[in-house]
Amino acid sequence: MPDATATIGVIGGSGFYNLQGLHDAERLAVATPFGEPSGAIVLGTLAGRRVAFVARHGDGHRLLPSEVPSRANIWALRSLGVQRVLAVSAVGSLREEVAPLHAVVPDQLIDRTHGRPSTFFGGGVVAHIGFADPFCERTATVLSAAAAASGVRTHAGGTLVVIDGPAFSTRAESEQHRAAGATIVGMTALPEAKLAREAELCYASICFVTDYDVWHAHAADVSVELVLANLQRNVDHARATITRAVAQLPEPRDCGCGRSLAGALMTAPADVPPEARARVALLVDRYWGGAP
């Protein structure tokens, strides 16, 4: 019987709907307290490591950015034993030097989303995670090196501004994002990164640039046709990058991501309602012990 666990998770974004090279693959329907994930979690072996893959937008790209069930996706990966998440995304560039077909591994985020569920907590249990540095530096370093080794012009570091979508930015918004110091603009890294931190997962993102957004004087308006054309050109690089990164991630992890909730839990265990305790047991039982 195949091993139904994995230590590395991969979240595929636009254009990245399957993980080629995954051996002994099986599809799992994983139930979570936060509903169903975007689709089946595909478990298998890649570069000698156990990997769990989920397509962020579902089979056939059916989910809007604001409809992605990020809590269920992250929870499902965590419940399977995942410790690190490599996320793949399509983005627009806000900088001349970051051209279409380049890749960016960001180290900062600006949140311009509204109303997306962004925490596993609430309903009687409170936690405040540290989020000053939203990506795992060690995982991001491996991901940057893997992208460069796969032949992609890669920018290590940069700020990703996350918007709701599904519409692309107005020209005024694009200029506003540039003035705020952002490097790239996307629609899905949040709340994914916040939830990964709450789940004590290492999280890093490889963002493939498809366009210059709409600030660039010589760029065409952003369109699905343009995005899809450049996504197809980048997909082989994306798969090669993920395969290299999976092979190169060190074991065991030695960063602080695996203790993100230490000191973050505000509510005393005795004051947490039983239903809330059960809902977050996967995350808190290591600190609070078993059921009271």
- Annotate 228-253 with b (16+ C-beta within 10 A) or e (fewer): eebbeebbebbbbbbbbbbeebeeeb
213 is catalytic: yes
Strand partners, 108: 159
Strand partners, 155: 104
Q: From the centroid of its chain, how far is CA 202?
A: 10
Distance from C-alpha of 236 to C-alpha of 152, rounded to nearest angstrom: 10
Q: What is the DSSP letter of 44?
A: E
One of 213, 221, 236, 271 is an active-site residue; which one? 213
Distance from C-alpha of 176 to C-alpha of 185, rounded to nearest angstrom: 11
211 is catalytic: yes
One of 24, 211, 254, 285 is an active-site residue; which one? 211
Q: Which residues are identified as catalytic? A: 211, 213
